[in-house]
Amino acid sequence: MSGLRFSVKDLYGVEGWPLTASTRAPVPDPGQSVLVRRLLELGASAVGKTHLHEIALGITGMNGYGGTEHPTLPGHSPGGSSSGAAVSVALGQVDVALGTDTGGSIRVPAAWCGVTGFKPSKDHPEYSLAGVLPLSQTCDHAGPLARDVSTLARVHEALTGTEIKAQSWSGQRVGLWLPEGWTDRPVREAVQAFAARLEALGASLSPAALPEMLDAYTPIVLNEAAAVHREALRQDEPGFTPFTLGLLRQGAALTGAEVEAAHARRAEYRAVLDDLFNQFDVLLAPAVPTPPPLTGQEEAELEGGPLPLRRAVLRLTAPFSLLGVPALALPTTTPFVGVQLMMRQAEDDRLLGLGLTLEGSKG
């Protein structure tokens, strides 16, 4: 990987570099990142750290230092939590950015910044979370963002020692998860156009259905995040922004029974997704519900009516972090609107291979 430059989301511990998690509150020291060290050993160069949505608990990029702006749309959000990661790639400052994805934190900024992002299977041995400040042990993933799938595949090949080969879309059974009213019209039309492209490559498409899973995702993540930041929360004014502090206090207030119930719902949702993968080889879904929102915007205007932005985004992306399957975020022909492709657990290589084929078929 000699010559490849990468940025590091400020949740990864890097020797000699401070770790703030983009908050003014004190945070635990996770130690040194195994994944960063591995990339350095492979010959890549780490050029700096990137800002994120405060402690990774959000999807817009806001934090205790003011937040990150969209790379080419002034006054708009780049997405989060891996906001600086996506921006550093979009601006050509680096070839690859290390991000994390707990509920969409790689895929959302990739989509809104017009780049690609890869969330590997949960507990993938080559994408170690050792030395990364956690948000949610259950849902956290480490992964890369880049301008193209070829670069993502290059990173994956270097880490795994396995060649990524382009995969044919011919005969692939694709489930289109595009819940009515969950996006605005431009996103719906962009996803439908992407689906038509897959059909042109020989895939068969049928509608797929999944429930909203935030009733499991939210209690699990907030409770685990509150445990990570337990020491800071002992202070009356720990230094988190008000919104982050409110979410952490909410997580700390959950009872054991409430968290246990959320994990039980997660198990039920896993059975639903497993059944879906008995019907389909690949799932296709929007990665975001709208184009990039304005900075500070709190609602999303969807075809089904207005909805809080956080919920509108997370209900599309959180299921695949909650359940740990690999996901690949790709741009569409509509600027700053991305889709996501998902496959069964451990089918990371095949998913990237399908992405390579799409990249090679452009035009």
Cβ–Cβ < 8 Å for 27, 240: no
Q: Give the range of the structural domain holding residue 18, as residue numbers without chain letter.
A: 5-360
Sequential DSSP letters for 68-103: ---SSSTTB---SSSHHHHHHHHTTS-SEEEEE-SS
Task: Tell me the pLDDT band of 236, cut-offs 50, 70 and 90.
Answer: very high
Q: pLDDT tens for residues 271-293? A: 999 999 999 999 999 999 999 99
8 pLDDT tier (thresholds 50, 70, 90): very high
> What percent of the chain has a predicted confidence (pLDDT) above 90?
99
Structure tokens at 285: 């879904």
What is the structure's pLDDT at 278? 98
Local structure of residue 292 (DSSP, 8 states): P
**Catalytic residue (one of 81, 82, 88, 136):** 81
Q: Is 50 helix (H, G, I), strand (E, B) or coil?
A: strand
Question: Is the pLDDT score of 363 beyond 50?
Answer: no
The DSSP code for 54 is G
- State in Å, rounded, how far the first CA of the chain is from the last one: 29
Which pLDDT belongs to residue 360?
Answer: 86
- CATH number of the domain at 176, please: 3.90.1300.10
Q: Give the model confidence (pLDDT) of 23-51 as tens digits.
A: 999 999 999 999 999 999 999 999 999 99
Average pLDDT over residues 80-86: 98
Sheet holding 96-100, edge to edge: 45-50, 5-9, 96-100, 142-146, 116-119, 327-331, 338-342, 282-286, 173-176, 204-207
On whether the CB atoms of residues 52 and 13 are closer than 8 A, the answer is no
Q: In whole angstroms, give the CA distance from residue 221 to residue 41.
A: 33
Length of the chain in terms of residues written: 363
Contacts of 234 (CB under 8 A, 6+ apart): none
Query: Does 81 participate in catalysis according to the annotation?
Result: yes
Secondary structure E strands in 129-279: 142-146, 173-176, 204-207
Number of domains in the chain: 1
Q: Which amino acid is at 177?
A: W
pLDDT digit string (tens) for 153-202?
999 999 999 999 999 999 999 999 999 999 999 999 999 999 999 999 99
Average pLDDT over residues 211-236: 98
Q: Which of 105, 121, 136, 321 is catalytic?
A: 105
Give me the pLDDT at residue 96, please. 98
Residue 362 has pLDDT above 80, yes or no: no
Q: Which residues contact 243 (CB under 8 A, 6 or more apart)?
A: 58, 62
CA atoms within 13 A on the CB side of 16: 5
Query: CA 306 to CA 58: how far, in whole Å?
Result: 19
Residue pair 19/56 in contact by the 8 Å Cβ criterion: no
Six token digits for residue 335: 């600027």
Element (H, E) at 301: strand 299-302
Please report the pLDDT score of residue 39 as a whole number: 98
For 165, the token pair is 């080969």
Give the per-residue pLDDT at 361: 81
- Out of 7, 9, 83, 122, the active site residue is 9
Which amino acid, 158? A
Q: Report the C-alpha gap between 41 and 301 in whole angstroms.
A: 46
Q: Are 146 and 95 in contact (CB under 8 A)?
A: yes
Radius of gyration of the chain (CA): 19
For residue 160, the SS3 value is helix
Rounded Cα gap, residues 160 and 44, in angstroms: 15
